[in-house]
Amino acid sequence: MARTGKLTHIGRRGEARMVDVSAKPATARVAIAEGRVVMKESTLATVLAGDARKGDVLGTARIAGIMAAKRTHELIPLCHPLAISKVDVDITADAEPPGLTVRATVKVTGPTGVEMEALTAVAVACLTVYDMAKALDRGMRIENVRLLEKSGGKSGMYRAEENQHVRTSTDAAASPRRHRPA
């Protein structure tokens, strides 16, 4: 379906507004988002062994992601509060570059999508990993937080192309940094 390019959260006079979804039918909607926390090998080993000083990093990050998805409307202006039916936060280890991949799947039956909830779950889970392991590695990086897929609603299915807009740590190290003055 072609997009008109109209921003739905902007009124005629340019003011921010919450979209009225009262006339939209409730449909099954799913969104999947992903992000990474890149860290030293030694940090990853400590996290996976469950030996971080602050406790269970992975379990705490999962809970934080779930809680964040449920409270997205309190964090992101103009998001609707939703009766989310399911939130899954999966965290897997990556060997190269060393780190963790966080993936969140959010489901709802309602008049609006759950993309922001999935993205918020991933971002907060990644931030929680950083918080709980920062004593081991302050150089950790959170990167590539993005929507992978969404289904349902008027706009239908979206699936990100493989490596769409993704810049890996290796890419960043290989290319020169450009700095623009503010």
| Whether 143 contacts 169, CB under 8 Å | yes
Sign of CA dihedral 79, 116, 26, 153: positive
Q: Are 20 and 78 in contact (CB under 8 A)?
A: no
Query: Per the residue annotation, which of 56, 131, 137, 171 is the catalytic one?
Result: 131
Contact 27, 37 (CB under 8 A): no
Give DSSP secondary structure letters for 47-73: HHHT--TTS-HHHHHHHHHHHHHHTHH
Q: Which two tokens stand for residue 67?
A: 């809680």
Any catalytic annotation for residue 94? no
Alpha-carbon distance of 126 to 78, in angstroms, equals: 23
Of 33, 18, 20, 31, nearest in space to 111 by CA: 20
86-94 vs 27-38, strand pairing mode: unpaired
Active site residues: 131
